Amino acid sequence: MIRSDRRTLMKGGMALVALGGMPAALRAQGAKPALLIYDRRFATSLQLAEEWAGQGIAILDPREHDLGLAWQGQIPSLLASGGAIAGATLWSDRFICETFARGHGRTRLLHDVPMPGAGGADLRHWAIA
């Protein structure tokens, strides 16, 4: 049985509001992402990926495509056209991207904030320019 109380409903509502504001926050900073790294194991991350993909932004799930290999081919070519790399992932995928980004002259962390609705996991929304 799924427990539904006021606190659970409030947290769910806040998660939806936060998801809706994330793409707008990136656009407000003038940093339209060239790519979003996401984690389909988490509904909030998958929702964000679907929204960005609907706007023509490339998406990548490290569980389907090796991040190291992507940083040797696909990601640098996407970054060459401008824009930031954004993510809705656990810290480990952000760390991998941050490390590879430095090698491509991308060192500025635009933001790194917790994403609500991850079921206790430390899911982060981040962007690197």
- What digits encode the pLDDT tens for the residues 54-84? 999 999 999 999 999 999 999 999 888 888 9
Residue 55 in contact with residue 107, Cβ under 8 Å? no
- Structural tokens at position 62: 């490290």
CA 18 to chain centre: 13
> How is the chain split into domains, by residue range?
6-128
Neighbours of 100 (CB within 10 A): 19
44: left (phi > 0), else alpha (psi -120 to 50), else beta? alpha
pLDDT at 80: 87
Measured between alpha carbons, how far is 77 from 118 in angstroms, rounded to an integer? 31
Residue type for 19, please? L
What is the chain's alpha carbon radius of gyration, rounded to the nearest angstrom?
A: 15
pLDDT at 27: 45
* pTM of the complete model: 0.74
The residues of the chain scoring below 50 in pLDDT are 1-3, 8-23, 25-30
